[in-house]
Structure 1
Amino acid sequence: MNRLHSLLLIVLLVAPLGCSKSGPTASSGTSDKRGDKPHVAYITNGVASFWVIGEAGAKAAGKEVDAEVTVLMPSEGLSDQKRMVEDMITKGVDGIAISPIDSENQKGLLNKAAKYTKLITQDSDAPGSDRIAYIGMDNYLAGRMCGELLEIALPEGGKVAIFAGRLEQDNAKRRRQGLIDQILGRSQDDSRIDPTDERIKEGKWDIVGTYTDQFDRAQGKANAEDAMSRHPDLAGMVGLFAFNPPLILEALKQADKLGEIKVVGFDEADETLQAIKEGHMYGTVVQNPFEYGRQSVLVLAGIVRGKSLDELGFGKNKFMDIPARKIRQDNVDEFWTELKANLGQ
């Protein structure tokens, strides 16, 4: 074998090695993993009982469609969620379902994720990003449902304080606005935005303020105590996140004002449901976090395996609506039984 032939043989043997890839590669959107087991990540916006239910749904769906599921709950806010997304990209997961903490300021991160993997949003949307679709409820309409509960609990109106984990999230903004629009008798307009740092007085209602705690439970309880201290004649308190109503109830109990100040809220923490049963809280608007988790994994696995959004149950607006429900004393037992069944309890 002469020298030229030897060189050609070496090139042919080594060339395939040069085609190997390291690190994440951009997704063409045409991958077909029908015969593989997809690996998807379900990333929440914090740590809460709400997300424990979502995790149960995601894991159940993993078994249903033979997918590997990684559930991540950021305990330290925005930077923690960013680290989790980047870690999943580096590990080459096939899809990510995320509840963005700050959709506006996370567009760069979300678009990066969408470049390297299949990205959907769940619970809270990021409509300006490159995400494929959104799974959840219409948070503006859910806010109006919460307002309907408050109207029944306080037919004469009065002073009301609103409490939330953070207002950077799309879902929190929309819930707050829906609530305000409903009790003030306004028409539906989900593009309307009332200032978050101003008192809103109109007709029989006086919204004294919107308090945020950045998922700090001690601060959340302190906010409830502060609102009662500043407004001795406070008539109502509204918690927009799952952990807000239990913190409000705890503050009311210590102030010996359970039942005196009307409470409505969101989600299905055990303390919230028990308080409704006992008459200490008027009602709550529940989502379906189990189905958020379940559908997120079903959808991501379906997309990875080549299914279209139409096949997966989405409309033209790329939104899978999982409707909210109002829970009061007359249906709390039925709902709680259903919830426990989903959790295998």
Structure 2
Amino acid sequence: MKRFFCFTLLMLSAVIVGCDSGDDNSSNAAPEIPDDTGSNVVGTPTVAYVTNGIASFWDIAEAGAQQAGKDLKVDVQVHMPVDGVQDQKRMLEDLITQQVDGVAVSPIDSDNQIDLLNLVADATTLITHDSDAADSNRELYIGMSNYDAGWMCGELIEEATADVADQVSIMIFVGRLEQVNARQRRQGLIDYLMKREKDDQRYDKPGQVIENDRFSILGTRTDDFDANKCKSYVEDTLTAYPDITCMVGLFAYNPPQILEALTSADKLNEVHVIGFDEDAQTLQAIVDGTCYGTVVQNPYQYGYQSVKVLAEHATGVKDISDHEDFIDIPARKIMNNNVQEFWDELKKLTGENDADAGSDSAE
């Protein structure tokens, strides 16, 4: 791991000058991680977990990250940017200055953050989670195949609309398409519905209708992580396409905004809703039958495994090069037949009670 050694060398010099050869414990330096770990880290390691925004999804990931910190006895900083890519940039620059022992980040705009990410990688151990930056000098990626998850979302759309006689019209809602994960989810969904061969390098640019005899994808509305803007776009869609068949939300906060707008328009049971992630409102809608299903990741494990990998490397337990380049935590479909079991397990992991479960996220 790349680290800054000046302070450590100064403290070591003090020990050599001030101690007899037989007195190993007379130094005032901070206690070290035991020698059997092979680590040079002084004191308790600190690792940082950086998200791409604020959402209930990231609250779950934070719970996993903090639990890993307790289990592995490392300090964990969780940073959630409020103001998009510039806020995330500031956070990463601050972490370079702090000389933390590792950083896990979900890049907001990986194509335009390569130089910044490489600066982080030069200063400490860098991994990505949730959304990758494969062209950077990050060590590995923890997450899922977002393309495959989008493909699964397409399967849910097809199942939900199986009884619709006419061509199925669809609008996609997502925070931003600069993120690799958003682009790949959208593309997987499109490719499945268009009955194409799988190709995670394909990209249909937004701004055009994509259709075949069965499905018509009217467009993709991006809200830049603004829940109110998402809801407004849903309302605009209902005005422009009053007979729309299906709406899909690809970020955690999108499905709840779709559901709220449909409720206000008295169209909750007329438009098929497909979600992504495990926001409490989305899960409750699946229980109630107003959302057909959602594709979930495992944000708890994103947080836990990110901290675990960084902590084990920082303490010498397991070198990061011993891991695969991609630690796969697969997505799965949640529908009426498995939603309650899934939700109960989620509450156990996060320490959430039933009263908390229905509350809105920080979105």
Q: How many Å apart are 1:310 and its aligned residue?
A: 6.3
**1:47 and 2:24 are equivalent in the alignment:** no
* Equivalent pair of 1:125/1:171 in contact (CA under 8 Å): yes
Tell me the amino acid that sits aligned with residue 258 of structure 1: L
Q: Distance in 2 between matches of 1:331 and 1:299?
A: 31
* Equivalent pair of 2:247/2:273 in contact (CA under 8 Å): yes
Question: Helix, strand or coil: the match of 1:189?
Answer: coil
* Equivalent pair of 1:266/1:284 in contact (CA under 8 Å): yes
Q: Distance in 1 between matches of 2:243 and 2:211?
A: 15
Tell me the amino acid that sits aligned with residue 290 of structure 2: H
User: C-alpha root-mean-square deviation of aligned residues, in Å?
Assistant: 1.4
Question: Helix, strand or coil: the match of 1:104?
Answer: helix
* Equivalent pair of 1:288/1:324 in contact (CA under 8 Å): yes
Question: Normalising by structure 2, what TM-score?
Answer: 0.84
Q: How many Å apart are 1:305 and its aligned residue?
A: 2.5
Q: Which residue of 1 aligns with 2:79?
A: 72
Q: Which residue of 1 aligns with 2:146?
A: 139
**1:118 and 2:125 are equivalent in the alignment:** yes
Q: Which residue of 2 aligns with 1:200?
A: 210
1:213 pairs with one of 223, 228, 242: 223
How many residues are paired up?
313
Q: How many Å apart are 1:34 and its aligned residue?
A: 6.2
Q: Which residue of 1 aligns with 2:241?
A: 231
2:319 pairs with one of 301, 308, 311: 308
Q: Which residue of 2 aligns with 1:21?
A: none
Q: Which ranges of structure 2 fall in alignment gaps of 5 or more residues?
A: 1-12, 15-37, 353-363
Tell me the amino acid that sits aligned with residue 96 of structure 1: V
Q: Distance in 2 between matches of 1:231 and 1:295?
A: 43
**1:271 and 2:278 are equivalent in the alignment:** no
**1:160 and 2:148 are equivalent in the alignment:** no
Q: Which residue of 2 aligns with 1:249?
A: 259
Question: Helix, strand or coil: the match of 1:233?
Answer: coil
Q: How many Å apart are 1:342 and its aligned residue?
A: 0.4
Q: Which residue of 2 aligns with 1:108?
A: 115
Q: Distance in 1 between matches of 2:306 and 2:295?
A: 21
* Equivalent pair of 1:45/1:81 in contact (CA under 8 Å): yes
Q: Which residue of 2 aligns with 1:38?
A: 45
Q: Distance in 2 between matches of 1:116 and 1:71?
A: 18
**1:190 and 2:180 are equivalent in the alignment:** no
The one-character-per-residue Cα deviations of 1:320-340 (angstroms, maximum 9, x if unpaired) are: 000111000000000000000
The one-character-per-residue Cα deviations of 1:133-152 (angstroms, maximum 9, x if unpaired) are: 00001000000001000000
Question: Helix, strand or coil: the match of 1:70?
Answer: strand
Q: Which residue of 1 aligns with 2:291?
A: 281
* Equivalent pair of 2:85/2:108 in contact (CA under 8 Å): yes
Q: How many Å apart are 1:302 and its aligned residue?
A: 1.4
Q: Distance in 2 between matches of 1:33 and 1:230?
A: 62
Q: Distance in 1 between matches of 2:319 and 2:45?
A: 16
Q: Which ranges of structure 1 fall in alignment gaps of 5 or more residues?
A: 1-15, 18-30
Q: Distance in 1 between matches of 2:275 and 2:154?
A: 10
Q: Distance in 1 between matches of 2:40 and 2:231?
A: 48
Q: Distance in 1 between matches of 2:211 and 2:294?
A: 24
* Equivalent pair of 1:184/1:203 in contact (CA under 8 Å): no
Q: How many Å apart are 1:183 and its aligned residue?
A: 1.0
Q: How many Å apart are 1:243 and its aligned residue?
A: 0.2
Q: Which residue of 1 aligns with 2:106?
A: 99
Q: How many Å apart are 1:308 and its aligned residue?
A: 2.8
Q: Distance in 2 between matches of 1:97 and 1:86?
A: 14
Tell me the amino acid that sits aligned with residue 110 of structure 2: S
Q: How many Å apart are 1:228 and its aligned residue?
A: 1.2
Identity of aligned residues (%): 55
Indicate how the Cα distance of structure 1 residues 310 and 114 shifts in structure 2: closer, same or farther if over 3 A, else same.
closer
Q: How many Å apart are 1:32 and its aligned residue?
A: 3.0
Q: How many Å apart are 1:36 and its aligned residue?
A: 4.0
Q: Which residue of 2 aligns with 1:3?
A: none
**1:261 and 2:271 are equivalent in the alignment:** yes
Q: How many Å apart are 1:233 and its aligned residue?
A: 1.3
Q: How many Å apart are 1:221 and its aligned residue?
A: 0.3
* Equivalent pair of 2:52/2:80 in contact (CA under 8 Å): yes
2:70 pairs with one of 16, 41, 63: 63
Q: Which residue of 2 aligns with 1:180?
A: 190
Q: How many Å apart are 1:35 and its aligned residue?
A: 6.7
Q: How many Å apart are 1:33 and its aligned residue?
A: 3.5
Q: Distance in 2 between matches of 1:79 and 1:34?
A: 31
* Equivalent pair of 2:194/2:211 in contact (CA under 8 Å): no
Q: Which residue of 2 aligns with 1:292?
A: 302
Question: Helix, strand or coil: the match of 2:111?
Answer: coil
* Equivalent pair of 2:142/2:327 in contact (CA under 8 Å): yes
